[in-house]
Structure 1
């Protein structure tokens, strides 16, 4: 990787922001720190306004596109992908429940930024009310997306795709470039308020746990695929290692698709099955991302001693599985799509969201690698179920145009 490409990556900029935030917290004057606190307040208010719009604009065309898709086998593949993603979240919930009491112990943080009057408070704030709530956006997206499919409205579908492009432009040119500044402000505030070491040490343990769990997730997926198909799971997994390694380097499911396709074919999956399942999986199968987000979110809940019930967590996981379908195709896109559910279902505030973003991006490539390698397991299962054919009868043809948005991170 060239130096220019390295310094231009979001991961590099996030790491630099974290390091600078920690170092500058040792000597920054209060008046200057309040500039970044003011920016963080404005940026988080903008996210509150923008996230419902993002959810509606990305999920609506995704639902409409799936409705126009390949009939029976698209439904089967989507069902397997969603089930895998949700099960990954439920496993993360179980692991967190069993391990966080001894892994994180009694480590608690009352607040990331303990603001006293006149200390690290913003110079001013601007309220930015959202046009509608997150849940309203999700329900509207489903209703409008399904309705467009039912009435075969090409005009509305085109308009939805254009709105999606506009929102993606905002994400790429405004939200993503400002994330390092946002993260810098959060770590600067944590350092100046004396609770930085506790937060960092606790999250370091969770980062290691998340990496281990994403690897175990892939192994389990291939054990299941091997049991269903009768193939040696370890041989099949070994054939997918080039895709895993490529995803580690690119942090992009889309960029890894050619390698994932070749690896799936090496496992004996026919061209027509691999050519359908792999690009679709790159769009809707994010079990690795789900594992990371769930583990990090539950760590925040534990560390901040938040009153969150098991029912809330399960609801969060079920909704997050849907959000992953529409995660924008930019680095860190999955965590950006999850922000609305983290706020609405778990009650996360802006600083907790920033901590989630920083932790997620720090090991982004491991989640992506788990996602694409899992696509190979799904391809094996779908090939077994369909016996190499992706049609239920002569009228159930594959029409992937308008279905596959393969720009998933």
Structure 2
């Protein structure tokens, strides 16, 4: 029997971009308009589903973290959150310094279609049930409330809703993303804007990769201050987890390897068994770094103001939203679409480019996330380990 060849999301995105550029140079406006019509409908669906994604993912995540917290859970969550905030601000300040030398301010993306007069053949309005900020506040309220309820009826219902949303992302949204991104690049090529945007892509990916390496070294230097050991030896021992994440693009699938290498670094079985699976869900430093850098680059490219107060609020909210990111390729960027829209004002074209940029670096972001989990485990083992051992004596 012939083995079925399966393409991952990243190869499909790359093929979609390449085909969009190729056909954008040869297809007439009538053909381009077909895909503009599809993108118009798909973006309406995205606007409809984003508040539901927030409600379905953030609510159970907060409920799970808050339930019977215990000091170790609270400390781990705080360390993971501050690590995520650090990576976000590191990305912002690096971008503010470096990106202006790499990016030329050009035509705003929303003018690409208007410049060529391309509009959809027809449009379908799908109003969202609620606004993004309403969904966020409702999620926090429900999640914190569920964490303190003795009954599980509503929590079970929210967990079922989470499964529906996760299934919608993996079965509907992610498979259609390559077509959506094909349409975006087809339209941009037809309008003559694609090459300047691709040049930005390559430059930004290079900067983010260097930032990932710096972030990992920094995390292990901090961890080494707690455990009084060589940070580079600790980091080198985590390389099997790093390369496993590169191949799988999944923090969850990498947990067994992360656990094994964390224990080889001297973390106790009890601490590693608690911290590593938890951080696979709540610690997304690499993902946060990518999203902040890509958002900043797109705003600079369009000449949109990117002042610090705006991005500070975005980063603080992004750190919370990353807790709810589903464990599928591209899941973090899907969870972040809501605040990209509500706080930074990104429209569907900018969101599509964010998705393409993010997925192009998805493996490296996941690898950064899981490798950083090992540093957090070292810190928690040093801080909480003695207390846990006292309780067992």
**Deviations 1:116-139 (CA, angstroms, capped at 9, x unpaired):** 488321011111111111111111
Distance 1:200 1:117, change over 3 A: closer
Which residue of 1 is the match for residue 98 of structure 2?
A: 99
Kindly state the Cα deviation for residue 83 of structure 1 after the two structures are TM-superposed.
Answer: 0.4
What is the CA–CA distance in structure 2 between the aligned matches of 1:350 and 1:322, rounded to whole Å? 23
Which residue of 2 is the match for residue 64 of structure 1? 63
Matches within 5 A, 1:5-404: 7-104=6-103, 106-111=104-109, 114-116=112-114, 119-387=117-385, 390=388
- Normalised by the size of structure 1, how large is the TM-score? 0.92
- Distance change >3 Å, CA 201–CA 118, structure 1 → 2: closer
Give the aligned length. Answer: 391
Q: 2-side partners of 1:4 and 1:10: how far apart?
A: 16
The answer on whether the counterparts of 1:72 and 1:392 sit within 8 Å (CA) in structure 2 is no
TM-score normalized by structure 2?
A: 0.96
SS of the residue corresponding to residue 315 of structure 1 reads helix
Contact 2:223 2:378 in 1 (8 A): yes
Q: Distance in 1 between matches of 2:388 and 2:340?
A: 37
Structure 2 residue aligned with 1:405: none
CA distance in structure 2 between the partners assigned to 1:47 and 1:257 by the alignment: 31
How far apart are 1:310 and its partner, in Å? 1.6
CA displacement, residues 9-35 of structure 1 (integer Å, 9 cap, x when unaligned)? 101110110000010011012111101
CA distance in 1, matches of 2:233, 2:251: 22
What displacement does 1:145 show? 1.1
Distance 1:285 1:69 in 2: 20
Range that drifts further, 183-192 or 28-37: 28-37
Give the structure 2 partner of residue 401 of structure 1: none
Contact persistence 2:251–2:327 (CA under 8 A): no
Give the conservation status (yes or no) of the 8 Å contact 2:51–2:135.
yes
Is the 8 Å Cα contact of residues 30 and 119 (structure 1) preserved in structure 2?
no
Q: Distance in 2 between matches of 1:203 and 1:374?
A: 25
Change (3 A) 1:283 1:193: same
Who is 1:398 aligned against?
Answer: none
Question: Whole-Å Cα distance in 2 between the matches of residues 4 and 234 of structure 1?
Answer: 41
Give deviations 1:166-188, integer Å, cap 9, x for gaps.
11111111111100000000000
How far is 1:308 from its partner? 3.5
What is the CA–CA distance in structure 2 between the aligned matches of 1:391 and 1:119, rounded to whole Å? Answer: 69
> In 1, Cα distance between the equivalents of 2:109 and 2:297?
14
State whether residues 112 and 191 of structure 2, in contact with CA within 8 Å, keep that contact through their aligned partners in structure 1: yes
CA distance in 2, matches of 1:263, 1:306: 44
Contact 1:239 1:267 in 2 (8 A): yes
Q: Distance in 2 between matches of 1:92 and 1:116?
A: 32
- Label 1:132 to 1:391 Cα distance change in 2 as closer, same or farther (>3 A): farther
Cα distance in structure 2, aligned partners of 1:388 and 1:285: 24
- Cα distance between partner residues in 2 of 1:45 and 1:151: 36
Q: Name the CA distance, whole Å, in 1 between partners of 2:164 and 2:61.
A: 15
Structure 1 stretch displaced more, 114-123 or 203-212 = 114-123
Runs of 4+ in 1 over 4 A off after TM superposition: 2-5, 388-394
Q: Tell me the SS of whatever aligns to 1:226.
A: helix
Is the 1:270–1:388 Cα contact (8 Å) retained in structure 2?
no
Per the TM alignment, residue 3 of structure 1 is displaced from its structure 2 partner at its CA by 8.1
Alpha-carbon distance in structure 2 between the residues aligned to 1:261 and 1:267: 10
Distance 1:391 1:296, change over 3 A: farther
Q: 1:215 to 1:4 in 2, by over 3 A?
A: farther
1:268 alignment partner, SS class: coil
